[in-house]
Structure 1
Amino acid sequence: MSSLDDLGQKRMLAALVFAGLTVSVMSTLGTPLIPTIADEQHVSLDTAQWMLTVTLLVGAIATPVLGRLGDGPQRRRVLLVTLGSAFAGSVVAATSTRFPQLLAGRALQGVGYGTVPLAIALTREHVTGDRLRSGIAMLSITVAVGAGLGFPVTGLIAQTLDFHAAFWFGAIFAAAAFVSVALAVPRATGEAKRVALDVPGALLLAGGLASLLLGISQGESLGWASAAVVALFAGAAALLAAWVHVELRRDAPLVDLRLVSQRAILGANVAALLLAMGMYIAMSLVNRLMQTPESTGYGFGATLVTTGLMLLPLSLGSLVSQQITRRVIRRYGIGVVLPAGALIVAATLLWLAVAHGRLLDIAIATALLGVGVGCSFAAMPALIVASVPEERTGSATSLNQVLRSVGGALGSAVGVAILAAHHPAATPFPQESGYTIAFLVGAVVCVVTAGLAILLAPRRRPAAVVAPRFELEQELLMEEAAVGAGVGPSVFDGERRR
């Protein structure tokens, strides 16, 4: 059982959620600042885009490794190292005078992508009862909440202050998150088996993800059919195939592929990839649409601050989604939440395809996007945690996090590619039809996501293996589910079985 009393669990959850929000907000520092940094650092816009690419690459590579290390007894220490790296990266970027130093800082910030999987693993270790479910759900939506909060703050800083101020802002919050976690999360007690890091698997996965994400991020500028991009995608396929081959033959793999092939986990991971794609099609296009001049006949000519404020309803919708999710689970069960959330995101994108001419339309759409994403993202870790033993929580949830990152990068690239296809050579901006088609493509992706979530839903309750000390905890969760307060027996009942 947990060594923390009720107040201690509340404090720990508050610290972990704050850490997740901090890293999520920090991840938004790049996009609004790109034009400013390109101008002040005397680099092209394409070069400045590496601020986003390098953070994504490091995050995708580091997250599975951090998640696996978080499967062991030192997950608190691993989380502190992660937050320390995010703080150091913020300071390096804030004091940068040259672009390479700025890139180094953004690379260090990318290590922070591993924060949420580690926080979920710590929550499962130390939190009991109904707070376990609600804590995991809240941690899972910090990405959406943080994005909605981060864009207006970053826009305000970019519009009124030097770009260095944005990174000092990130450094202050990263330091506060580090201290909060250090004070609120207890050290590991007792004996626990140390994990063996699968170095060959880590190197193959890192190479495969790096090639894949570089191909996606450079496809628009170099050309999707260019030799370099094709080579990157071919290299990614070869390296990832080799990774699967190695992982299936390791006694202690980086990611247990046999475990994650269970229907519940597979459905959550497929949904993570596709739903993130739909989410980032919406977010990236709304960002562009808001800043497009009114002279085009469809843009708003908004400032960075106004653009950020139009994404603020995303945070509010994500928070509201938690109450909606509880009611849906109580009435229909956890299996309905994931496809329902995907359908809400699909409806949002359909709304944007046919109604994006008023600020009210955009505000309603981003709020609905937050509800759909919040419902779905809350269901994913619940399905995963219910299906894996405690000692695999970090690595299993980190894979889900990586797939969200890949899906987000793919969604942004698809949106940009569609706009480029509807961009006449003689005009500085794409045709409005490009936005309509891109939103429709995103809606189709989310409908497919809902269908796959239904097909891959577990036909019976997930049969996970958990340590005996969690049995009472799961008893409490299922009792609460029976009266409508928990996540439902379809999620947690299997955790009692050995």
Structure 2
Amino acid sequence: MSTPREQSEPRMLVPSLMFIALVVAAVASLGTPLITTVATTFHVSLNSAQWTLTIALLSGAVSTPVLGRLGAGPHRRATILATLAVVVVGSALTVLPLPFAWLLVGRAGQGIGLGLTALMMGVARDHLPKQRSAATISLISVVSIIGAGAGYPLVGLLTQVGGVRAAYGLGLFVTTIAFLAAWRFMPEAPAGRSAHVDTVGALLLAGGLFLVLYLAGERSLWSHDLSVTVVLAVVAAVLLAVWTVTGLRGKAPLIDLKALRHPAVAGANIAMFVGAIGMYLLLTLITRYAQTPHSAGYGFGLTTFVAGLVLIPFSVLGFVAGKLTPRMLKRIDAPFLLAGSAVIVGGGFVLFVTARSNLVDLLLAMSVLGFGVGSFAAAMPGVILAVTPKSETSSAMSFNYVVRSVGYSLGSAIGGLILSAGTGLGHLFPDDSAYTTAALVGIGAMAITTLTSLVLARKRSPQAEPAAAPSRSSQLTRPPDGTVAAPSGS
């Protein structure tokens, strides 16, 4: 029997969950349309300016499992509020007239908010009826991705009027509202839960991921200091290997790596990792291509504001796909839908490779990308939550979002690396062929994602179901209320 607080909560709970997921995603991705402006404002290279995006994705990748573990415990509300407070402080640092290094610190603080997406899903699963919670979780997943382009036009307009600081000021404004919404409407976690955070594991993961992304994004290091590069690569491998071993042997690891033994979880996370690389790569390529001046021999020389308008189809079509996906899941198994979504994103890459001579071509490619990303994001939770206990929703989805954030970070870094490699000596912008090369890499990534999803679909087929049943049932545990957590999703 629910308390009066629980009965009145859902009225504004769903809008609050959606708004917080949208805000943290939009603010963390503010670096995308501002890379060129940051480079000119702070007198740094485009490669250095790219880190305003990469560092936010990196901090999100590290914070997500930590917040997911805390969100599985009794202090979920306090965790959400404390995290949003950090995001607000980080947003303030991006607005203050401080050196470039402090801008990166602020962007890292904003990126920490990406870890809240999994907690929003946990709140929905705990406090909403089963059918409504499944639909809400799918929309949260979609909003967390399409939020990347939600505020770009306004950010572009503010950049033209008041510069990059004014654009980041929008982030400070909306994160403050998100904090107030969480303070007012976020419920407490159900009683009887406990959580332990593996601090050592978090440090190992942070160090390993930082070195991987640093090596992926710093092309000059490979050509000038190969010995240092090799040493850093070895250190990164050791850190991640130690993190993996401790995660498998520990009693309360940061991420339950043993869950990867389940084919659905392992396959879904592989598809998410490779797919995220491709998805963010195309988003970055189109945005930078649109802003490249005509003097480079290609591009459209769009202002930050107009370039932001190019991203509107991405958000609109992504939201439409997210609304349609729950209905499609009643007829199509989730892994098949993942495969189809990956094919659609691959089609966006093909459009970008074959036709980018006018702005309409870019708008079409961005629309295709948005629809593919929206359906992919909406289908993903159903694959994972179908084999996840209700009390472990935040923790299970947090790992998927770690994978997604790392994939995004690598997509951003790989895109910057390929374009940097295609930039001639004494030139500010890469050759047009560098964009084609990067897009071909993206097509390969989406092909791998498609094949992985199809393999996952085969493992979930009726023929394979009997073999999977024992493993699946072993994943289900009894939550504190004593009932067996029913699978949700596909």
Asked if TM exceeds 0.5, the reply is yes
Number of the residue aligned with 2:142: 141
- Supply the distance in 1 between the matched residues of 2:313 and 2:437 (Cα, whole angstroms): 24
Q: Kindly, what percent of the aligned residue pairs are identical?
A: 39
- Supply the distance in 2 between the matched residues of 1:148 and 1:47 (Cα, whole angstroms): 22
Give the counterpart letter for 1:302 in structure 2.
Answer: L
TM-aligned CA deviation for residue 102 of structure 1: 2.7
- Report the 3-state secondary structure (helix = DSSP H, G, I; strand = E; otherwise coil) of the residue aligned with 2:311: helix
Number of the residue aligned with 2:353: 353
Higher mean displacement: 31-40 or 354-363: 31-40
Is the alpha carbon distance of 1:64 and 1:228 closer, same or farther for their aligned partners in structure 2, counting shifts above 3 Å?
Answer: farther
Question: CA-to-partner distance for each residue in 1:316-337, whole Å, 9 max, x for gaps?
Answer: 1111112331342122222321
Is the alpha carbon distance of 1:170 and 1:323 closer, same or farther for their aligned partners in structure 2, counting shifts above 3 Å?
Answer: closer
Number of the residue aligned with 1:168: 169
CA contact (8 A) 1:388 1:465 kept: yes
Question: CA-to-partner distance for each residue in 1:137-171, whole Å, 9 max, x for gaps?
Answer: 11111232211113222222212213222232112
Give the counterpart letter for 2:260 in structure 1.
Answer: V
CA contact (8 A) 1:68 1:394 kept: yes
Matched, 1:210 2:210: yes
- Supply the distance in 2 between the matched residues of 1:5 and 1:309 (Cα, whole angstroms): 40
Matched, 1:283 2:283: yes
Give the counterpart letter for 2:169 in structure 1.
Answer: W
Give the counterpart letter for 1:432 in structure 2.
Answer: D
Number of the residue aligned with 1:494: none
Is the alpha carbon distance of 1:39 and 1:445 closer, same or farther for their aligned partners in structure 2, counting shifts above 3 Å?
Answer: closer
Q: Kindly report the root-mean-square deviation, in angstroms, between the aligned alpha carbons of the 2 structures.
A: 2.5
Is the alpha carbon distance of 1:44 and 1:412 closer, same or farther for their aligned partners in structure 2, counting shifts above 3 Å?
Answer: closer
Residue pairs, 1:237-248, within 5 angstroms: 237-248=237-248
Higher mean displacement: 26-35 or 205-214: 26-35
Is the alpha carbon distance of 1:28 and 1:188 closer, same or farther for their aligned partners in structure 2, counting shifts above 3 Å?
Answer: closer
Is the alpha carbon distance of 1:139 and 1:221 closer, same or farther for their aligned partners in structure 2, counting shifts above 3 Å?
Answer: farther
Question: CA-to-partner distance for each residue in 1:386-413, whole Å, 9 max, x for gaps?
Answer: 2222332222211211211211122223
Number of the residue aligned with 1:88: 89
Question: CA-to-partner distance for each residue in 1:258-317, whole Å, 9 max, x for gaps?
Answer: 113311111111111111111122111111211122344431121111111111111011
TM-aligned CA deviation for residue 471 of structure 1: 5.9
Is the alpha carbon distance of 1:392 and 1:160 closer, same or farther for their aligned partners in structure 2, counting shifts above 3 Å?
Answer: same
Is the alpha carbon distance of 1:471 and 1:364 closer, same or farther for their aligned partners in structure 2, counting shifts above 3 Å?
Answer: farther
Aligned length: 476
Give the counterpart letter for 2:213 in structure 1.
Answer: L
Is the alpha carbon distance of 1:2 and 1:164 closer, same or farther for their aligned partners in structure 2, counting shifts above 3 Å?
Answer: farther
Number of the residue aligned with 2:9: 8
Is the alpha carbon distance of 1:173 and 1:207 closer, same or farther for their aligned partners in structure 2, counting shifts above 3 Å?
Answer: same
- Supply the distance in 2 between the matched residues of 1:418 and 1:395 (Cα, whole angstroms): 34
CA contact (8 A) 2:419 2:435 kept: yes
TM-aligned CA deviation for residue 257 of structure 1: 1.0
- Report the 3-state secondary structure (helix = DSSP H, G, I; strand = E; otherwise coil) of the residue aligned with 2:255: coil
Unpaired runs of at least 5, structure 2: none
Number of the residue aligned with 1:120: 121
- Supply the distance in 2 between the matched residues of 1:130 and 1:145 (Cα, whole angstroms): 23
Give the counterpart letter for 2:147 in structure 1.
Answer: G
Number of the residue aligned with 1:222: 221
Matched, 1:406 2:417: no
Is the alpha carbon distance of 1:236 and 1:257 closer, same or farther for their aligned partners in structure 2, counting shifts above 3 Å?
Answer: same
Number of the residue aligned with 1:17: 18
Number of the residue aligned with 1:256: 256
Give the counterpart letter for 1:207 in structure 2.
Answer: G
Number of the residue aligned with 2:364: 364
TM-score (norm 1): 0.88
- Supply the distance in 2 between the matched residues of 1:39 and 1:429 (Cα, whole angstroms): 13
CA contact (8 A) 2:39 2:49 kept: yes
- Supply the distance in 1 between the matched residues of 2:423 and 2:164 (Cα, whole angstroms): 30
Give the counterpart letter for 1:119 in structure 2.
Answer: M
Is the alpha carbon distance of 1:167 and 1:201 closer, same or farther for their aligned partners in structure 2, counting shifts above 3 Å?
Answer: same
- Report the 3-state secondary structure (helix = DSSP H, G, I; strand = E; otherwise coil) of the residue aligned with 2:342: helix
- Report the 3-state secondary structure (helix = DSSP H, G, I; strand = E; otherwise coil) of the residue aligned with 1:314: helix
Give the counterpart letter for 1:362 in structure 2.
Answer: L
TM-score (norm 2): 0.90
- Report the 3-state secondary structure (helix = DSSP H, G, I; strand = E; otherwise coil) of the residue aligned with 1:353: helix
- Report the 3-state secondary structure (helix = DSSP H, G, I; strand = E; otherwise coil) of the residue aligned with 1:214: helix
- Supply the distance in 2 between the matched residues of 1:115 and 1:287 (Cα, whole angstroms): 26
TM-aligned CA deviation for residue 25 of structure 1: 1.3
- Report the 3-state secondary structure (helix = DSSP H, G, I; strand = E; otherwise coil) of the residue aligned with 1:253: coil
- Report the 3-state secondary structure (helix = DSSP H, G, I; strand = E; otherwise coil) of the residue aligned with 1:330: coil
Question: CA-to-partner distance for each residue in 1:344-382, whole Å, 9 max, x for gaps?
Answer: 111111111111112111111111111111111112222
TM-aligned CA deviation for residue 36 of structure 1: 3.7
TM-aligned CA deviation for residue 438 of structure 1: 2.0
Question: CA-to-partner distance for each residue in 1:392-439, whole Å, 9 max, x for gaps?
Answer: 222221121121121112222333333344444475543333222322
Give the counterpart letter for 2:309 in structure 1.
Answer: L
Give the counterpart letter for 1:350 in structure 2.
Answer: V
Number of the residue aligned with 2:29: 28
- Supply the distance in 1 between the matched residues of 2:373 and 2:2 (Cα, whole angstroms): 31
- Report the 3-state secondary structure (helix = DSSP H, G, I; strand = E; otherwise coil) of the residue aligned with 1:197: coil
TM-aligned CA deviation for residue 43 of structure 1: 4.7
- Supply the distance in 1 between the matched residues of 2:376 and 2:7 (Cα, whole angstroms): 28
- Supply the distance in 2 between the matched residues of 1:114 and 1:262 (Cα, whole angstroms): 23
Residue pairs, 1:418-433, within 5 angstroms: 418-425=418-425, 428-433=428-433
Is the alpha carbon distance of 1:379 and 1:314 closer, same or farther for their aligned partners in structure 2, counting shifts above 3 Å?
Answer: same
- Report the 3-state secondary structure (helix = DSSP H, G, I; strand = E; otherwise coil) of the residue aligned with 1:102: helix
Question: CA-to-partner distance for each residue in 1:64-121, whole Å, 9 max, x for gaps?
Answer: 1111111111112111111111111112222233334333322222221211011111
Give the counterpart letter for 1:184 in structure 2.
Answer: F
Matched, 1:196 2:196: yes
CA contact (8 A) 2:477 2:484 kept: no
Number of the residue aligned with 1:293: 293
Is the alpha carbon distance of 1:227 and 1:142 closer, same or farther for their aligned partners in structure 2, counting shifts above 3 Å?
Answer: farther
- Supply the distance in 2 between the matched residues of 1:25 and 1:161 (Cα, whole angstroms): 20
CA contact (8 A) 2:59 2:111 kept: yes
Number of the residue aligned with 2:59: 58
CA contact (8 A) 2:476 2:485 kept: no
Number of the residue aligned with 1:377: 377
Higher mean displacement: 16-25 or 154-163: 154-163
- Supply the distance in 2 between the matched residues of 1:256 and 1:201 (Cα, whole angstroms): 11
Matched, 1:307 2:307: yes
TM-aligned CA deviation for residue 9 of structure 1: 2.1
Is the alpha carbon distance of 1:425 and 1:91 closer, same or farther for their aligned partners in structure 2, counting shifts above 3 Å?
Answer: closer
Unpaired runs of at least 5, structure 1: 478-486, 492-498
- Report the 3-state secondary structure (helix = DSSP H, G, I; strand = E; otherwise coil) of the residue aligned with 2:150: helix
TM-aligned CA deviation for residue 238 of structure 1: 1.1
CA contact (8 A) 2:139 2:323 kept: no
Give the counterpart letter for 1:465 in structure 2.
Answer: L
